[in-house]
């Protein structure tokens, strides 16, 4: 289920995995009550050029049959529940019902027009078991059939805004999703009232770029790599990292104090670099998405749903990264991640305002985001009984020229109840080497 595009009703299973999706015409869901007509400026962190795209998510559920809730569900089907809840939620999150406009010097703002968000009802003649059942995880071969495109991802002006990365980050989207579920269950208002306050993350006057921000350094290729010709041979695999796998991995850095995220990111960056086979003297980088909400003094207001993400980078030559012990990579990741503070993100905002909103260089760069706490279905109960989350995460099925450079940590529960998963996209030859490197780590 992707709230911006599709409500999917999984029906009786058929003998073949080939199935038909019947979509109704898209409709615009507008706020249930009148909302302010005004202009709201995005912050200099919100409207970075790297955020100007859609980031759809997908959620699969299997409902538990609850006789006590049957009468409630019969009164109004799931589609009706979500449609009504969405209209009521937009009263509180009314900027989502507006449209982006471009102000002078390329800065974006939201015109709160109340035009609404797209909503598409659809039925698919396929069962959840046919899509993978409880073992459902990326890559998803049917997303193109199950999802509806929200619009031209390259032209975000004048388009509906839910899942538009300029409006909110993953934490902000999670807050909206939670509000939607609460209102669907009959709450009159969200438990967390949304707060705009984007001016808090605007550039200072005068701007003071106080960090090097090497993530925005433009890196040129030396032309010796082989990846450009392999991007049409991409594969995606999901790797499960539960307690046993992580315990095995920690044996390779037994005296290193680090979090699970730091350990896993450092190791994957190292394995990936070996698999791709960069020139030993080339710099390779890992960019880490860090939620900076807890870094501010005083803190950002409770309910703030804008972008508050910093993107620090760790840099090493390929030779140093792959020849040194794992502890070397861990220290680089820790230093980059722990270097984010209030001044860092304010310096980022100042950089955006003074340097024309540069985009992070993708050359020899690995992007990592930890969304385990925000992309989950634990709070998505729309009032029709208990739901069992099968999968919740980013809607990526076919690796693209940019998605292959990214990994998003998501939560997945295996049949033992352990959680942990990581989708990885690589050119086919590199994937084979990547798997071999992972196996050698475990077996070594």
Other C-beta atoms within 10 Å of 317: how many?
Answer: 16
Helix (H, G, I), strand (E, B) or coil at 97: helix
Residue 381 annotated to the active site:
yes
Phi/psi for 304 (5° steps) reads -65, 125
Q: How far apart are CA 422 and CA 241, in angstroms?
A: 8
Catalytic hit among 77, 123, 134, 381: 381
Query: Angle, to 10 degrees, between the axis of helix 428-443 and the axis of helix 243-250?
Result: 70
Q: In b/e form, how buried is each residue of 243-257, taking b as 16+ CB within 10 angstroms?
A: eebeeebeebbeebe
- Catalytic residue, chosen from 59, 165, 174, 213, is 165
Bond prior to 174 in cis (omega within 30° of 0): no
- Detail the DSSP E strand segments found in 322-416: 365-370, 387-394, 406-413
255 is catalytic: no
Smallest CA-to-CA distance from 269 within 359, 175, 368 is with: 368
Is the distance from CB of 118 to CB of 26 less than 8 angstroms?
yes
Between strands 57-63 and 108-111, the pairing is unpaired
Query: Known catalytic residues?
Result: 165, 381
């Amino acid at each position: 289920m992707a709230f911006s595009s599709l409500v999917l009703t999984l029906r009786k299973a058929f003998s073949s995995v080939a199935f038909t999706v019947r979509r109704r015409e898209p409709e615009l869901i507008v706020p249930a009550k009148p909302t302010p007509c005004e202009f709201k400026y995005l912050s200099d962190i919100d409207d970075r050029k790297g955020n100007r795209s859609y980031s759809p998510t997908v959620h699969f559920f299997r409902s538990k049959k609850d006789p006590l809730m049957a009468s409630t569900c019969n009164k109004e089907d799931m589609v009706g529940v979500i449609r009504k809840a969405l209209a009521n939620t937009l009263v509180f999150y009314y900027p989502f019902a507006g449209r982006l406009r471009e102000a002078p010097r390329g800065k974006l703002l939201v015109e709160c027009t109340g035009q609404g968000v797209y909503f598409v009802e659809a039925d698919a003649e396929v069962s959840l078991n046919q899509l993978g059942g409880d073992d459902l995880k990326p890559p998803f071969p049917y997303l193109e059939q199950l999802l509806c495109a929200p619009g031209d991802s390259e032209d975000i002006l004048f388009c509906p805004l839910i899942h538009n990365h300029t409006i909110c980050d993953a934490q902000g989207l999670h807050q909206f999703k939670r509000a939607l579920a609460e209102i669907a269950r009959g709450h009159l208002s969200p438990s967390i009232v949304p707060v705009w306050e984007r001016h808090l993350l605007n550039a200072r006057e005068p701007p003071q770029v106080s960090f090097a921000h090497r993530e925005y350094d433009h890196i040129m290729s030396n032309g010796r790599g082989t990846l450009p010709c392999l991007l049409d041979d991409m594969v995606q695999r999901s790797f499960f990292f539960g307690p046993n796998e992580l315990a095995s991995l920690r044996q390779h850095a037994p005296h290193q104090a680090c979090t699970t995220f730091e350990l896993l990111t450092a190791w994957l960056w190292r394995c990936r670099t070996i698999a791709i086979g960069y020139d030993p003297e080339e710099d390779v980088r890992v960019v880490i998405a860090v939620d900076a909400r807890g870094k501010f003094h005083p803190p950002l207001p409770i309910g703030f749903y804008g972008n508050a993400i910093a993107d620090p980078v760790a840099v090493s030559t390929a030779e140093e990264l792959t020849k040194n012990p794992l502890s070397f990579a861990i220290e680089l990741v820790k230093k980059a991640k722990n270097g984010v503070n209030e001044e860092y993100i304010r310096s980022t905002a100042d950089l955006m305002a003074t340097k024309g909103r540069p985009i992070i260089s993708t050359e020899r760069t690995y992007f990592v985001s930890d969304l385990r706490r925000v992309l989950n279905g634990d709070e998505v109960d729309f009032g029709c009984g208990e739901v069992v989350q099968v999968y919740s995460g980013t809607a990526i099925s076919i690796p693209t020229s940019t998605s292959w450079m990214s990994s998003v940590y998501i939560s997945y529960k295996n049949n033992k109840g352990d959680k942990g998963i990581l989708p990885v996209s690589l050119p086919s030859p590199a994937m084979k080497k990547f798997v071999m490197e992972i196996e050698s780590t475990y077996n070594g």
